[in-house]
């Protein structure tokens, strides 16, 4: 299910909510029917009460009192049952809309490129997923239900009042323009206040999320008080905006009540004159007053419904900003049989607002079953190149072809199925270790799982974990060390069996002894796949078929490990430096 997002005015956002409801037109029709039945039954109550009072004055000559009481009880029970049905049906429909909207929202977030998440804070996205969707649900359910309820009740009440005494009804109708103006003015201000409040709530959610995600850094630098002070400032601003919103909503009912009280006073005065003149019976006056009292509920409910509709409109607008976010990448549609042969020609890329390009004129060919190493100082463009190959962004110049096809031509799901990526930052979900390693291949048998653990050198840690594979690793793998998390993500990539393997500095958190054993195991893995390895640790580069040395986004050297060491250039300098560090570490460990 995919919503068709549109931006615009409050009316357009409300029409979007109605479009979501249109999927359940059968429930809406039956719910509207029960709303009509509820008010049809309810409207007989005041007439029965007025008839009973007039009959009492002449000694109950028309019907006994039990007859009146029985019908009044029947009206009460009937409208109670139909009201229960209308609430169950219409509120139920709004819950279905909420379910659909949450599914669509998450589906859309999962499709958006990484550049989108660089521009939007997690806390703000979470607030849209919770409070904004709830506001849309309230508009699609209670607001719609009470809008229909007040519409039918107002029409019925005014019709009965006109039938009883047109002159008195005219007094009530004189007040309607004032009420309509008040409702319109307050609803517009509620909409603006809601938008401000929701934006502030998004900032609050972001502050909480960042504080919890970075709690170790916050505590390590003793910044608890600073973070708390910043949060309190946002909290005070949110309180101010909420109080502004509450003030608008709170002012509506008293002002409406004042206008209603004026109307009741005028009806009492003019009604008394008509009763004394014999042009209106006491029973008809009581019925008229009861209908006027019934009419007060639509006046109050209208304000509440408009408030919900304005909140829903604001929520829909904020959701549409995500649902309608443009995709930075065109989605290809080709699904050919692919050979893992990678061709890069004249590749150039510049990040937005960057002073210089991240990559310039990069060209190479990687044949199936071969391994290419990427080496260079920090910021030389290694990770950027891997991001372009995994199509997290498109290049500004040049081309990347897989199996003879441009990446942009290929179906996105097909392309991703060809790649196993181990990023610099190892990410694990709050699940068992087995579930994390099986993430790309949930049905992988235990034998393949254990082989991936052996190839990634993760098996050495399984015996130390309390429940082995079933150990829960916590949020972002917090219970594991940095090296364990990296080996788990390597195991996940190996288990997926994708033909093209991308390792982005995947050995940075692994100790030297484990690294040597891991490199020996990966040597066999690399012979069966097409592999790109970007790394600051050069020990693994002895096992690759070719090395590209990058500096400031350009290829400055290329060759095998032995050739580049003999060349005496940048690679040789990096290798000598690492050899010296390894010797010093070895001496310290020996001491």
Q: Give the C-alpha separation, 440 to 497, whole Å.
A: 9
The confidence score (pLDDT) of residue 2 equals 45
Please name the residues in contact with 199: beta carbons below 8 A apart, sequence gap of 6 or more: none
Taking CA atoms, 233 is separated from 45, 204, 227, 246, 460, in Å, by: 54, 10, 10, 20, 49
Please name the residues in contact with 5: beta carbons below 8 A apart, sequence gap of 6 or more: 16, 319, 320, 323, 324
**How many C-beta atoms surround the C-beta of residue 37 within 10 A?**
18
The confidence score (pLDDT) of residue 506 equals 78
The confidence score (pLDDT) of residue 9 equals 57
pLDDT per residue over 277-333, tens digit each?
777 777 777 777 788 777 777 766 776 777 788 888 888 888 888 888 777 667 777
Taking CA atoms, 542 is separated from 306, 370, 516, 526, 564, in Å, by: 70, 14, 11, 12, 11
β 546-551/530-534 pair status: unpaired
Residue 118 tokens, joined: 């660089």
- Look at residue 406 and give its three-state secondary structure: strand
* Cross-strand bridge partners of residue 411: 332
The confidence score (pLDDT) of residue 336 equals 85
Q: Give the C-alpha separation, 301 to 144, whole Å.
A: 11
- The domain 10-158+183-323 is placed in CATH, from the list 3.40.50.720, 3.40.50.300, 3.90.1200.10, 1.20.1560.10, at 1.20.1560.10
Can you name the CATH fold of 342-418+498-590? Rossmann fold (3.40.50)
* Cross-strand bridge partners of residue 410: 334
Ranges of each domain in the chain: 10-158+183-323, 342-418+498-590
- Look at residue 548 and give its three-state secondary structure: strand
What is the Cβ-side half-sphere exposure of residue 475, based on CA atoms within 13 angstroms? Answer: 5
The confidence score (pLDDT) of residue 557 equals 92
- Look at residue 199 and give its three-state secondary structure: helix
Q: What angle do CA 363, 368, 371 make, to 5 degrees?
A: 65
Q: Which residue has the tokens 């005219």?
A: 170
- Look at residue 503 and give its three-state secondary structure: strand
pLDDT block averages, 10 residues each, the chain of length 591:
47 78 88 90 81 74 78 87 91 90 88 76 81 88 87 84 82 73 72 77 78 73 79 85 80 72 76 77 78 74 76 85 76 81 92 86 91 89 90 88 88 85 82 86 88 83 82 76 83 86 79 69 77 85 89 92 91 86 60 53
The confidence score (pLDDT) of residue 5 equals 44
The confidence score (pLDDT) of residue 238 equals 85
Measured between alpha carbons, how far apart are the two ends of the chain, in Å?
65
The confidence score (pLDDT) of residue 84 equals 92
State the DSSP code for 409. Answer: G
The confidence score (pLDDT) of residue 8 equals 47
CA dihedral sign of residues 282, 286, 288, 292: positive
pLDDT per residue over 373-391, tens digit each?
999 888 888 989 998 998 8
- 452: nearest Cα among 424, 490, 485, 417: 490
Please name the residues in contact with 390: beta carbons below 8 A apart, sequence gap of 6 or more: 416, 419, 421, 502
Q: Rg of the chain over CA atoms, in angstroms?
A: 35
What does residue 401 show for φ and ψ, rounded to 5 degrees? -120, 135
């Amino acid at each position: 299910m995919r919503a068709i997002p549109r931006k615009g005015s409050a009316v357009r956002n409300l029409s979007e909510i109605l479009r979501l409801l249109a999927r359940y037109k059968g429930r809406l029709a039956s719910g509207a029917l029960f709303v009509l039945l509820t008010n049809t039954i309810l409207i007989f109550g005041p007439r029965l009460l007025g008839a009973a009072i007039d009959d009492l004055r002449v000694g109950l000559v028309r019907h006994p009192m039990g007859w009146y009481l029985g019908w009044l009880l029947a009206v009460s029970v009937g409208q109670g049952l139909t009201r229960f049905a209308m609430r169950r049906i219409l509120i139920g429909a709004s819950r279905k809309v909420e379910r659909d909207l949450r599914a669509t929202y998450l589906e859309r977030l999962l499709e958006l490129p990484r550049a989108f998440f660089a521009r939007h804070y997690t806390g703000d996205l979470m607030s849209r997923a919770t409070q904004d969707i709830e506001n849309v649900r309230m508009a699609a359910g209670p607001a719609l239900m009470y809008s229909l309820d007040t519409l039918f009740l107002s029409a019925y009440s005014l019709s009965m009042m006109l039938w009883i005494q047109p002159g008195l009804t005219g007094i009530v109708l004189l007040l309607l323009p004032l009420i309509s103006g008040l409702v319109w003015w307050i609803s517009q201000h509620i909409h603006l206040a809601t938008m401000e409040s929701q934006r502030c709530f998004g900032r609050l959610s972001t502050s909480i999320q960042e504080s919890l995600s970075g709690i170790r850094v916050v505590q390590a630098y003793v910044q608890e008080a600073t973070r708390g002070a910043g949060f309190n400032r946002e909290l005070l601003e949110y309180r101010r905006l909420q109080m502004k919103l509450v003030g608008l909503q709170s002012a509506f009912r008293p002002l409406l009540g004042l206008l209603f009280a004026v109307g009741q006073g005028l009806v009492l005065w003019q009604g008394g004159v008509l009763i004394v003149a014999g042009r209106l019976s006491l029973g008809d006056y009581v019925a008229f007053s009861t209908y006027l009292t019934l009419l007060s509920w639509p006046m109050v409910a209208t304000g509440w419904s408009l408030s919900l509709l304005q909140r829903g409109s604001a929520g829909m607008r904020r959701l549409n900003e995500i649902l309608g976010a443009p995709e930075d990448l065109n989605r290809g549609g080709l699904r050919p049989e692919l050979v893992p042969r990678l061709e890069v020609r004249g590749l150039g890329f510049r990040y937005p607002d960057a002073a210089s390009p991240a990559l310039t004129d990069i060209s190479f060919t990687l044949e199936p079953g071969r391994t290419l190493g990427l080496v260079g100082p920090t910021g030389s463009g290694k990770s950027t190149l891997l991001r372009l190959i995994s199509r997290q962004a498109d290049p500004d110049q040049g081309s990347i072809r897989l199996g003879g096809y441009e990446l942009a031509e290929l179906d996105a799901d097909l392309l991703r199925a060809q790649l196993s990526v181990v990023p610099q930052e190892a990410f694990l979900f709050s699940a068992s270790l087995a579930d994390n390693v099986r993430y790309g291949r949930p049905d992988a048998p235990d034998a393949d799982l254990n082989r991936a653990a052996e190839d990634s050198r993760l098996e050495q840690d399984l015996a130390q974990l309390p429940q082995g594979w079933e150990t829960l690793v916590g949020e972002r793998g917090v219970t594991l060390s940095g090296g364990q998390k990296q080996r788990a993500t390597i195991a996940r990539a190996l288990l997926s069996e994708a033909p093209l393997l991308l390792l982005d500095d995947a050995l940075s958190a692994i100790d030297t002894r484990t690294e040597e054993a891991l490199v020996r195991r990966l040597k066999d893995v690399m012979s069966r796949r097409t592999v790109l390895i970007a790394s600051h640790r050069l020990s693994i580069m002895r096992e690759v078929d070719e090395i590209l040395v990058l500096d400031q986004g350009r290829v400055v050297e290329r060759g095998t490990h032995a050739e580049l060491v003999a060349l005496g250039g940048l690679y040789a300098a990096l290798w000598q430096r690492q050899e010296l560090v390894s010797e010093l570490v070895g001496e310290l460990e020996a001491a």
